[in-house]
A and B are shown apart, each in its own frame.
Chain A
C-alpha cells in the first residue's frame, strides 16, 4: 500500500505564476520529509527538506509547508520558470533512514 501519495500526475503553470505540488502520507510516525526534482535520465536533485518540528521551510523560490494533522505536504515554487519543468517527488520517513517516495508529479511551466 502506497504510504506516500502524489495524486496529481501532472500540472501545467504559466511562467511567473505559482506552482503548488501536493503530497499526502498515511503514516503518522513520519517526521522527515524531502522534495526532489528529476529530469529524464538523471538522478533526483534535492530541492528542500523539512522535519516535523517546523511547519514551513523556505529556500529561495521554494517553500515547503507541512500540515501534520492533515498528513499533507506541499511545495510552492514562486515564480515558476521554464527550467522548473521536471518531475517532482516527495519522500517521507519516520527515522530519517527509510524513505518512502511518492509516484511523482510532472510539472510543465509554459513560457
Chain B
C-alpha cells in the first residue's frame, strides 16, 4: 500500500493563478480531509469528506474548493491564489465510522505552496 499520496511536492504560483492539489489513498478509506499548516500553528482543517459525493467545510474553508467523485481521490482547488494561501498542505484519510479506532487519520507527505 502506498497509503496517502500527494502531488505536487512543491509549487510556486503567482497571485490570481489557479491550481489543484492532488490527494489519493489506496486504503479504501471513507473519510478524507485537507489541512494547512502555517508557522507556529497547528494543522487547521480546510475541507473534509465522509464519502464519495459528500463534502463539508472545516475551520478555514475560504478560497478553497473540493469535490469527491471517487473513494480514492480528494483534490483541493485554489481558484484564485492569494499570498495568504502560502502554506504547507496535508491530506489525510481515515476508515470512517466502523469498527476499531475508525477515527485514526493517516497523513500524506504534504505539498508546499508559495504564492507570490
Interface set of A (CB-CB < 8 Å, partner B): 4, 6, 32, 34, 36, 41-46, 49, 51, 89, 91, 93, 96-104
Contacts and interface: CB of A to CB of B under 8 A. Distances in A.
23 contacts: A32-B103, A42-B110, A43-B4, A43-B109, A43-B110, A44-B107, A45-B107, A46-B104, A46-B106, A49-B104, A89-B42, A91-B42, A91-B43, A93-B103, A97-B50, A98-B45, A98-B59, A99-B105, A100-B42, A100-B59, A101-B42, A102-B42, A103-B42
A43 B90 contact: yes
Interface of B: 4, 31, 33, 35, 40-45, 48, 50, 58-59, 90, 94, 97, 101-110
Given A42-B109, A43-B110, A97 B104 contact: no
Contacts of A98: 45, 48, 58-59
Contact of A97 (B31, B41, B90, B110): B31
Contact of A101 (B44, B102, B109, B110): B44
